[in-house]
Amino acid sequence: MTRPLLDLATLRQERLERLRVILKQADVAGALFLDPINIRYATDTTNMQVWCLHNPTRYVFVATEGPVILFEFATCEHLAVGIETIDEVRPATSWTYMMAGSEAGARAAEWAAEVADIVNRSGGGNRRLAVDRLDVMGFSALQRLGIEVAEGQELAEQARALKTPQELVAIRDCMVAGETSLQTMHNALHPGLSERELWSVLHQSNIALGGEWIETRLLASGPRTNPWYQECSDRIIEDGDLVAIDTDMVGRHGYCCDISRTWRTGDGQASDAQRRTYAAAHAHLSRLIELVGPGVTLGEIAEAVGEPPAGHEVYSCLVHGIGLCDEYPVAFWKGQSGRYDEVLRAGMTVCVESYLGPENAAEGVKLEQQVLITDSGVEVLNKLPLEDAWL
């Protein structure tokens, strides 16, 4: 079956229109985004994405009704040529200490004056501005000019939570590339390879297939698989070891392919202990996929699953949203701190997470599937098989 081709112009327009619906509902004049993920969603522009995650030196103003103005890093204005959703490109003003030093206060005031002028011109008297990420200096500079700063990350996450038709085309394409990279890694797995060497295969393949970066290095082997959350090391993978990987990869079109697999190294058979742990993790994963669906609340999922099983290390959540990166919403275990309740809706893409590591056991198993919530249930987006023969 032929997959539909991605129409980038339509993708950009769909996302911008959805974002503006959310901004209008929030009664703001517009939004100012400094987070590269939100800039990408609103405009489909990129520039030194990882560097800009910790250096807020480019930003975009999206008027609820009016222009989209991209403020680009110095001398990089040409990068936005041909992007239909952008009405104007200006050089950005940065007041980060690295860029401004002792002039940071003056730069922040200069920045705020330009932003306030745009709000005044496009807001029709509305001086409420949604902002996703702003330090004290920038926040204070806007307040001094009478701009009411509203929470912007919440609005961005609400917009991003429901995927548009062209987003789903991009996500499916991303999943195919991501699975190809993961399979390439699996094919490269053999005793004598270090964890870092194996992880580098995933990274290289992701880049070669049009991906962008990987957010973590969650790969562990043998005794380092239990407990979870150990990033790859110089440990040499041995024959018979379990190897667990969580991709966390920002792939093609900027979308995240976030799936987890656990494999056995070498040609031998899995041990009884490995099979038992895998079967338990697999059953937990399958149960979560059964529970996820349109109209289901995060609280209902937690209640149905219950508290973490005694005597096991478990994953930090049950379900989380996924799109350009890990996103809202997140379902936590029953009794876990930080829980909140929301309703899952058709059009959301989420990851269902499973990790089980028996206490005092040598190894643990990490599994994860990425799914689309549909009107009637869920569709598993990734097709790379699990180790069903172990069950």
Q: Convert the pLDDT of each residue in 109-131 to its tens digit.
A: 999 999 999 999 999 999 999 99
CA max distance for the chain? 71
Residues 103 and 174 in one domain: no
Residue 70 belongs to domain spanning? 8-159
- Please tell me whether residues 321 and 183 are part of one structural domain: yes
Average pLDDT estimate for 302-323: 96
Cα 38 to the chain's mean position, in Å?
Answer: 11
Q: What does the pLDDT read at residue 1?
A: 56
User: Is residue 360 very low, low, confident or very high in pLDDT (cuts 50, 70, 90)?
Assistant: confident
Mean pLDDT of 15-35: 98
pLDDT band at 245 (very low <50, low <70, confident <90, very high): very high
CA gyration radius, the chain: 23
Q: Looking at the 3D structure of the chain, how many domains does it have?
A: 2
Identify the domain boundary among 159, 179, 205.
159
Mean pLDDT of 214-218: 97
Token digits of residue 305: 């699953």
Q: Is the pLDDT of residue 274 over 70?
A: yes
pLDDT of residue 344: 98
Segment 344-359 shows an average pLDDT of 97
In a domain, 2, yes or no: no
User: What pLDDT is recorded for position 102?
Assistant: 94
Domain shared by 68 and 210, yes or no: no
**The predicted structure's pLDDT at residue 257:** 98
Task: Give the domain-ending residue among 159, 177, 193.
Answer: 159
CATH number of the domain within which 97 lies: 3.40.350.10
Residue-by-residue DSSP string for 261-310? EEEE-SSSPPPHHHHHHHHHHHHHHHHHHHH--TT-BHHHHHHHH-SPPT
Ranges of beta strands (E only) in 17-125 are 30-33, 59-63, 68-72, 88-91
User: Would you state the pLDDT for residue 338?
Assistant: 85
Q: Averaged over 183-206, what is the pLDDT?
A: 98
Kindly state whether residues 169 and 155 are assigned to the same domain: no
**Measured between alpha carbons, how far is 334 from 350 in angstroms, rounded to an integer?**
19
Taking CA atoms, 342 is separated from 296, 302, 313, in Å, by 8, 12, 26
CATH number of the domain that residue 287 is part of: 3.90.230.10
Same domain for 67 and 153?
Answer: yes
Percent of the chain residues past pLDDT 70, beyond the cut: 99
Q: How far is CA 373 from CA 58, 282, 345, 349, 352, in A?
A: 34, 20, 7, 6, 12
pLDDT category at 342 given cuts 50, 70, 90 is very high
Does 261 have pLDDT greater than 60? yes
> Which residue, among 126, 109, 258, 286, has the nearest Cα to 182 in the 3D structure?
258
Q: Return the H-helix or E-strand segment holding 137.
A: helix 136-144
User: For residue 352, is it within any domain?
Assistant: yes
Cβ contact 347:371 at 8 Å: no
Residue 72 CB-half CA count within 13 A: 20
What is the rounded distance in angstroms from the CA atom of residue 193 to the CA atom of residue 367? 22
Q: Average pLDDT of the chain?
A: 96
Q: At which of 138, 159, 180 does a domain end?
A: 159
112 found inside a domain: yes
pLDDT given for residue 352 in this prediction: 98
Q: Does one domain contain both 200 and 312?
A: yes
